[in-house]
Amino acid sequence: MHLSIQSLSVISAAVKGLRMCFLLRIPSKAYYFISFIVLLIFLRTFYRYSQDIIRNSASTMCFDDMELTMEKQTNVVEAKHRSNKVSWSIENLSIPNGRTDVNCVTNWNVPLVWEGTFDPIVIDAIYKKTNPRVGVMIFAVGKYTGFLKGFLETGEKHFLTDFRVTYYIFTDNEKEVPAIALGKGRKITVLPVPSAKRWQEVVFGRMKWATITIDKQIRNEADYLFLMDVDSLFHNRIGAESFSRLSAVLHRGYYKNTERANFPYERHPESRAYIPVGEGDYYYTAAVLGGYLEDIYNLVRYCYEQSEEDSKNKIEAVWQEESHLNKYLLYNKPTKVLSPEYLWSDYDAVPADIKVVRISQLKKNYAEVRPNGGH
């Protein structure tokens, strides 16, 4: 880059002035003073010149970086929508309009995810670049093995399709685990657990065996980990929008019109799950949760340890591990909250604000499927 014409003119005039002083034999003090002024003018001009070079270099670098970023983003969004075999590119992606009928952010400023608040093509494409290992822990003890076929078959249609997924099936009857056709990079790992005499033992056992198995095995096999109830079916897409450090699902029964004081938290101070009236954010279900492996490990270990402390004192929290989970999430806020779309129930009608049901718990005869007749 060259000096500007204006800068050259200033320097030239200053040099001419200095030469005139010399020819007219102006006294030395005045000469030195004029020389000093000329030097300042020169330094100021040189400083501007150097700043121009820096600014222009930075602009060039930023432009190059922007082009590189745009190229990467274009590569990311040029993902194939495999469900209908349509190729998408950046030109024909739609921007979600958002939702005005529901809250889409929590009071601690993390996303509350609903249909219409994200672009599934873009978010899946971004996470596929990292190729994460996903684990799903499900417990099928006793007659609950009968729910495995429907869970796995619908999961293969709708749950994180085209991602690497391992279904960790905890069961007391390995022979009842069905053979299911799995997609590429997806597999089943069967983990034996003892039978139970009470359904409450199965519920508490989830946290115990999840803690032990993560320590012994799963920690080296998964990046994200989900814990789900087996007596459910997938009905619509669940993708990478469910990923975060710790994702919790709003309970369908208490997300809309229930006052905080009426949440079914454990209210007995003797229990480790105790939450005082006036505290709490939401009421979360324990039937679906997910997050980074270590964060899920911290959660399930906490629930296991706290329920063990209650047991020593002959206390059982009102909603078993779900009560301890809600206590944990009160003081360890989820980094993403998923709407009840991510766990509805076949017992309930679907309201207008639930635009899509992604998972739903099945109707069942508890007296028949639970080991102690549902009591």
DSSP letters spanning 36-56: HHHHHHHHHHHHHHHHHHHHH
Q: Which candidate, 229, 231, 359, 227, places its Cα nearest to that of 299?
A: 227
Residues 242, 338 contacting (CB under 8 angstroms): yes
Contact predicate 359/157, CB 8 Å: no
Task: For 112, list phi and psi in degrees, rounded to 5.
Answer: -115, 110
For CA atoms 221, 222, 226, 231, give the dihedral sign: negative
> Which residue type, as a one-letter code, is found at position 240?
A
CB pairs under 8 A, 24+ apart, for 104-108? 106/281, 106/282, 106/333, 106/334, 106/337, 107/281, 108/281, 108/333
Query: How far is it, in rounded angstroms, from Cα 336 to Cα 112?
Result: 6
Q: Residues 279, 325: contact at Cβ < 8 Å?
A: no
List 115, 321, 322, 341, catalytic entry: 322
The one-letter amino acid code at 268 reads H
d(CA 189, CA 168): 5
Pair 101, 116: CB distance under 8 Å: no
Confirm whether 322 is a catalytic residue.
Answer: yes
Catalytic residue IDs: 322
